[in-house]
C-alpha cells in the first residue's frame, strides 16, 4: 500500500492519529486503545506506571503524546498567577495498536477548506515587547537571570486540514523532530528542530539549539558558522544553554559521563540557520522515567537560565498560557526508552483558532528590535501555510 493511499484512508476515516519523523521517513500511529488526558493530579502516577524492565517489546508498546508547558512547571513545583487560557488540555498521551512506516514523500488529496480569516493577530506588539524586553534586561543586570525568552503568539480564526498543512510543511521545511497530532477536537502541526531527550538503555543525549540567523542569497552553512562564532551575543547565549543542559543531564547521569560530543555546528532550515551542540551522558542506575522528565523539562534552550528563577520571572510576566509551546512531544516505550522534542515551530488548532507561539532570547547584549524581528522569522514558515 503506498503512502498516498494510507494518508487518504486515515484522514477520511475520522480516526485520531499521530505522525512522527524518523531517520528514514515517518511513523504513523493509530487505533488508540487508551487516551490519557494529563493534569497536575495524575501526571506522577502516569509517569511511574510506564517504566518496566521488559526487554522484548512490540513496536506499539509505548505511549505517544505531549506534556504542555504549564504541566511541566507544576511537576517541578512552579506555580502560576492567574493567566488567560483557552482550556486546552495540559497533556495527552495515546497507546497505539497500529504503527505504519511511511517514506519521506508525504502527499494526499486535500479537501478544499476556506479559512475564515487568514490574517494573524499578534498578542504583543513591538511597543509592548520592548517594555517587557527592558524589564527583563533590568533583571539580568540585577543578577536574577542571565538569559530569558519572551514568548509572542500569532493567532487567527481558521478551519484547517492539518494533514494538508503537515504534508506541505514536510516538503518546504522538514525538521528532525516534526510531528502531527490529529484528534477529533484539536490538531498540532510541528516542524520542531530540537531533540530534548533521546534515551536508549542507559545512554541519553540532548541537542540544545541556541542561535538563529535569517537566510539570504549570500549565506551558506560555512558563512553562517563564521557569523555565529564571531557574534558575542549568540555565543554567550549558546554557551549558557549548553552549560545548563549539561547540568540538567548531570543530575541523572553517572558522574563524569556527561560530555559534549558535537559543539557549535550549524543546521539549515527553510528561512534560517541554527547554532547547535550535542551532549551525551550515561544514566545512573536509579534514574526512573519521572526523574528524567523532571530534570530535563521544560527544555532550557527555549526558557533561559538559570532555569527555576527564570521560569518564575517568565510566568509572572506572561498573561496568557503557553499551552503546548515549550512543552515536549514524544514517546515513552514500555522498556523505559524514550524520545522527546521541545515543542516549537508549531500550530495548535483548537476551537477553530490557530495559534503559533515563538520566542527569542534576551541576554545583556540583546537588541529589542532584533529579537522582535527574529520571532517573526521563526513563525514565517508556519504563517506561509495559510496563504
**Which pLDDT belongs to residue 198?**
96
Contact present, 221 and 266 (Cβ < 8 Å)? yes
- Is residue 233 very low, low, confident or very high in pLDDT (cuts 50, 70, 90)? confident
- Is residue 117 very low, low, confident or very high in pLDDT (cuts 50, 70, 90)? low
Q: What is the pLDDT of residues 144-176, one digit of tens each?
A: 888 888 899 999 998 899 999 999 999 888 889
**Which pLDDT belongs to residue 53?**
62
Q: What is the pLDDT of residues 246-285, one digit of tens each?
A: 999 999 999 999 999 888 899 888 778 889 999 999 999 9
The percentage of residues in the chain with a pLDDT greater than 70, rounded to a whole number, is 97
User: Between residues 234 and 35, which one has the greater pLDDT?
Assistant: 35
- Residue reference for cell 555565529: 228
**Which pLDDT belongs to residue 113?**
64
Half-sphere exposure in the Cβ direction for 141 (13 Å, CA) = 8
The mean pLDDT of the chain is 91
pTM of the model: 0.93
The percentage of residues in the chain with a pLDDT greater than 90, rounded to a whole number, is 62
Distance (Å, whole) CA 261 – CA 281: 10
- Is residue 100 very low, low, confident or very high in pLDDT (cuts 50, 70, 90)? very high
Distance (Å, whole) CA 306 – CA 296: 13
pLDDT of 343 above 80: yes
Which residues is 188 bridged to in the sheet? 181, 348
**Which pLDDT belongs to residue 131?**
93
**Domain extent listing, the chain:** 3-207+282-386
**Which pLDDT belongs to residue 381?**
86
**Which pLDDT belongs to residue 52?**
65
Distance (Å, whole) CA 76 – CA 251: 14
User: Between residues 210 and 351, which one has the greater pLDDT?
Assistant: 351
Distance (Å, whole) CA 321 – CA 86: 8
- CA-nearest of 155, 150, 127, 154 to 318 is 150
Distance (Å, whole) CA 154 – CA 156: 7
216's CB contacts (< 8 A; 6+ apart) are none
**Which pLDDT belongs to residue 11?**
92
- CA-nearest of 160, 171, 180, 174 to 7 is 180
- Is residue 38 very low, low, confident or very high in pLDDT (cuts 50, 70, 90)? very high
pLDDT of 118 above 80: no
Distance (Å, whole) CA 179 – CA 98: 17
CATH topology of domain 3-207+282-386: Anthranilate synthase (3.60.120)
* Among the ranges given (59-73, 115-129, 165-179, 310-324), the one the predictor scored with the smallest mean pLDDT: 115-129
Backbone angles phi, psi at 31, to 5 degrees: 55, 60
**Which pLDDT belongs to residue 217?**
87
- CA-nearest of 27, 120, 207, 113 to 382 is 120
**Which pLDDT belongs to residue 75?**
95
Distance (Å, whole) CA 316 – CA 385: 33
**Which pLDDT belongs to residue 115?**
58
Half-sphere exposure in the Cβ direction for 336 (13 Å, CA) = 20
Distance (Å, whole) CA 176 – CA 170: 10
Q: What is the pLDDT of residues 76-89, one digit of tens each?
A: 999 888 888 889 99
Q: What is the pLDDT of residues 179-221, one digit of tens each?
A: 999 999 999 999 998 899 999 999 999 998 888 888 888 889 9
Distance (Å, whole) CA 355 – CA 350: 8
HEC-encoded secondary structure of the chain? CCHHHHHHHHHHHCCCEEEEECCCCEEEEEEEEEEEECCCCCHHHHHHHHCCCCCCCCCCCEEEEEECHHHHHHHCCCCCCCCECCCCCCEEEEEEEEEEEECCCCCCCCCCCCCCCCCCEECCCHHHHHHHHHHHHHHHHCCCCCEEEEEEEEEEECCCCHHHHHHHHHHHCCCCCCEEEECCCEEEEECCCCEEEEEECCEEEECCEEEEEECCCCCCHHHHHHHHHHCHHHHHHHHHHHHHHHHHHHCCECCCCCEEEEEEEEEECCCEEEEEEEEEEEECCCCCHHHHHHHHCCCHHHCEECHHHHHHHHHHHCCECCCCCCCEEEEEECCCCEEEECCCCEEEEECCEEEEEEEEEECCCCCHHHHHHHHHHHHHHHHHHHC
**Which pLDDT belongs to residue 116?**
53
Amino acid at each position: 500500500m503506498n503512502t498516498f493511499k494510507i494518508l487518504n484512508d486515515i484522514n477520511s476515516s475520522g480516526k485520531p492519529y499521530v505522525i512522527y519523523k524518523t531517520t528514514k521517513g515517518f511513523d504513523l500511529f493509530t487505533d488508540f486503545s487508551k487516551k490519557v488526558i494529563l493534569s497536575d493530579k495524575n501526571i506522577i502516577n502516569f509517569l511511574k506506571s510506564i517504566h518496566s524492565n521488559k526487554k522484548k517489546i512490540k513496536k506499539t508498546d509505548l505511549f505517544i503524546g505531549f506534556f504542555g508547558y504549564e504541566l511541566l512547571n507544576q511537576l517541578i513545583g512552579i506555580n502560576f498567577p492567574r493567566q488567560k487560557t483557552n482550556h486546552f488540555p495540559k497533556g495527552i498521551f495515546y497507546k497505539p495498536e497500529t504503527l505504519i512506516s511511511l517514506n519521506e514523500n508525504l502527499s494526499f488529496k486535500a479537501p478544499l477548506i476556506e479559512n475564515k480569516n487568514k490574517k494573524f493577530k499578534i498578542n504583543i506588539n513591538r511597543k509592548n515587547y520592548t517594555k517587557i524586553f527592558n524589564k527583563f534586561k533590568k533583571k539580568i543586570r540585577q543578577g536574577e537571570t542571565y538569559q530569558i525568552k519572551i514568548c509572542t503568539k500569532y493567532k487567527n480564526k481558521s478551519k484547517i486540514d492539518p494533514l494538508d498543512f503537515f504534508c506541505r510543511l514536510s516538503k518546504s521545511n522538514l525538521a528532525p523532530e516534526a510531528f502531527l497530532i490529529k484528534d477529533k477536537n484539536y490538531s498540532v502541526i510541528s516542524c520542531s528542530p530540537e531533540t530534548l531527550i533521546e534515551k536508549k538503555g542507559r545512554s541519553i543525549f540532548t541537542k540544545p539549539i541556541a542561535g538563529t540567523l535569517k537566510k539570504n542569497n549570500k549565506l551558506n552553512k560555512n558563512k553562517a558558522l563564521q557569523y555565529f562564532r564571531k557574534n558575542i551575543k549568540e555565543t554567550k547565549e549558546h554557551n549558557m544553554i549548553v552549560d545548563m543542559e549539561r547540568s540538567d543531564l548531570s543530575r541523572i547521569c553517572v558522574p563524569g559521563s556527561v560530555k559534549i560530543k558535537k559543539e557549535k555546528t550549524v543546521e539549515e532550515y527553510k528561512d534560517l540557520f541554527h547554532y547547535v551542540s550535542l551532549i551525551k551522558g550515561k544514566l545512573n542506575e536509579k534514574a526512573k522515567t519521572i526523574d528524567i522528565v523532571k530534570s530535563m523539562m521544560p527544555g532550557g534552550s527555549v526558557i533561559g537560565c538559570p532555569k527555576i528563577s527564570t521560569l518564575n520571572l517568565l510566568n509572572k510576566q506572561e498573561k496568557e498560557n503557553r499551552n503546548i509551546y515549550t512543552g515536549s512531544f514524544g514517546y515513552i516505550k514500555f522498556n523505559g526508552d524514550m524520545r522527546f522534542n521541545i515543542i516549537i515551530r508549531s500550530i495548535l488548532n483548537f476551537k477553530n483558532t490557530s495559534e503559533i507561539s515563538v520566542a527569542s532570547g534576551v541576554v545583556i547584549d540583546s537588541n529589542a528590535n532584533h529579537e522582535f524581528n527574529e520571532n517573526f522569522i521563526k513563525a514565517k514558515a508556519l504563517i506561509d501555510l495559510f496563504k
